[in-house]
Amino acid sequence: MSIPTTAAIPSAAARDLFEIPEGVTYLNCANMAPQLRAVTQAGVDAVRRKATPWKLSAGEWFSGAEQLRILAANVLGTDRDGIALVPAASYGIATAAANVPLSRGQTIVLLHQEFPSNVYSWRELAKKKNGSVVTVQRRAGMSWTDALEEAIDENTAIVAVPQCHWTDGSRVDLERVGERARAIGAALVIDASQSLGACPLDLIRVQPDFLVAVGYKWLLGPYGLGYLYVAPKWRYSGIPLEQSWLTRAGSDDFTRLVEYTDEYRPGSRRFDMGEFPQFVLVPMAIAALQQILSWGIAGIEQALSFLTERVAQLTREDGYTILPMAERCAHMIGIRHPAGIPARLPKLLKEAGVFVSLRGDSIRIAPHLYNDRNDVDRLFEVLHTAQIER
């Protein structure tokens, strides 16, 4: 079984586009994507341009960021005014927490074992506003979506969830959760760091208040630059985390910066991080998103589903367990064994040059287009050895 070839996804050449040496089986995109050669070159070229700042015009402080904003908007299916540039998922979540309302006694609904970036800001907000955090767990046979719908009630003010759980790819039906949240007037905040770029998402149907995604995982970009989607209702009234001169109206005219103004640049730009021009990281992120859009998210998802289904097939042969297909996203998969993770597994993986993540009791497998069936088979050879030596 091989990755399906389309005009947009030449499977034979995909690995050659990345900085991956022979002998490395990298199935860990959910941790950090390996770098595209085009991204590396964009970074090298940007560092060289940065060496001569006298050649940089005032307009170039903004033009690269605007090009990136357009590309990110295309990935999300929105307009450029809906995108802010942020340094981290925690920054985007903190921005949301500074804006969505929470009254005394109301609740914030989170998933059990959610990634910390989507937890700490909500804990602090609950303490500040005398609210509380409700941590949702699944009962046997229950999906995350079912559990969330059950937990969201008339006391819920905020629902903060991912599109899939970071430990194992288990799926949250954001359309259903969004509909439930709107029905009781709750805000919806999404951390899409483990799905955006590899899993389609319909903003019109989901209707989040805020959505954040880091750029260095499934969006294949550099570390330190991510994206925040802001719903129209917050774009002209929301409160940014910081007061950067670059986010103010007229900031592109450097001769008038001492003419202070309360007006922001249009749309979500008020939420941009300070120093958002990021003269090195922005060109790298542009190259990454151009490649994502060239392949197409639906095409990426289809290709990765062949690999995760190969994983699913082999788990059944080797005693591991997985969630049913309907309860997980197609681009990554977590496997578990009734006896737990073998103690020698990390050492055996390292010796074989095979890279996955161990998250809780789950072995998280996160391929991309640089992988093929042979990579999955090589992983299971190591897993089989680990079971024998248990």
The pLDDT of residue 2 is above 80:
no
The pLDDT of residue 131 is above 60:
yes
Q: What pLDDT, on the 0 to 100 scale, is given for residue 317?
A: 80
Cβ-Cβ contacts under 8 Å for 206 (sequence gap 6 or more)? 174, 175, 178, 188, 190
Q: Judge contact between 81 and 268, C-beta under 8 A.
A: yes
CATH of 47-294, one of 3.30.160.20, 4.10.520.10, 3.40.640.10, 3.40.630.30: 3.40.640.10
What is the distance between the alpha carbons of residues 290 and 128, in angstroms, rounded to a whole number?
41
Which range, of 9-18, 68-77, 224-233, averages the lowest pLDDT? Answer: 9-18
Could you tell me which CATH class the domain 11-37+297-388 is placed in?
alpha beta
| Domain boundaries of the chain, sorted by first residue | 11-37+297-388, 47-294
Q: Judge contact between 25 and 380, C-beta under 8 A.
A: no
What is the distance between the alpha carbons of residues 136 and 110, in angstroms, rounded to a whole number?
6
pLDDT tens across 284-312, in order? 999 999 999 999 999 999 999 999 999 99
Q: What is the mean pLDDT of residues 336-349?
A: 91
Give which of 77, 76, 72, 83 is closest to 289, Cα–Cα: 72
Mean pLDDT of the chain: 94
CA 129 to chain centroid, in Å, comes to 28
Strand order across the beta sheet in which 362-365 lies: 333-335, 362-365, 357-359
Q: What pLDDT, on the 0 to 100 scale, is given for residue 388?
A: 74
Q: With cut-offs at 50, 70 and 90, classify the pLDDT of residue 350.
A: very high
Q: If DSSP codes are grouped into helix, strand and coil, which group holds residue 370?
A: coil
Q: With cut-offs at 50, 70 and 90, classify the pLDDT of residue 6.
A: very low
Q: What pLDDT, on the 0 to 100 scale, is given for residue 13?
A: 67
Q: What is the mean pLDDT of residues 11-17?
A: 78
What is the distance between the alpha carbons of residues 25 and 20, in angstroms, rounded to a whole number?
9
Q: Judge contact between 318 and 329, C-beta under 8 A.
A: no
The pLDDT of residue 165 is above 80:
yes
pLDDT tens across 29-63, in order? 999 999 999 999 999 999 999 999 999 998 999 99
Cβ-Cβ contacts under 8 Å for 385 (sequence gap 6 or more)? 348
pLDDT tens across 168-218, in order? 999 999 999 999 999 999 999 999 999 999 999 999 999 999 999 999 999
313 phi-psi bin (left φ>0, alpha ψ -120 to 50, beta other): alpha
pLDDT tens across 246-295, in order? 999 999 999 999 999 999 999 999 999 999 999 999 999 999 999 999 99
Q: What pLDDT, on the 0 to 100 scale, is given for residue 97?
A: 98
More confident residue, 9 or 168: 168
Q: What pLDDT, on the 0 to 100 scale, is given for residue 212?
A: 98
Q: What pLDDT, on the 0 to 100 scale, is given for residue 11?
A: 56
Share of the chain above pLDDT 90, in %: 88
Q: With cut-offs at 50, 70 and 90, classify the pLDDT of residue 8.
A: very low
More confident residue, 320 or 33: 33
Q: What pLDDT, on the 0 to 100 scale, is given for residue 76?
A: 97
What is the distance between the alpha carbons of residues 158 and 264, in angstroms, rounded to a whole number?
27
The pLDDT of residue 10 is above 60:
no
Residue 160 is which amino acid? A
Q: With cut-offs at 50, 70 and 90, classify the pLDDT of residue 163.
A: very high
More confident residue, 7 or 142: 142
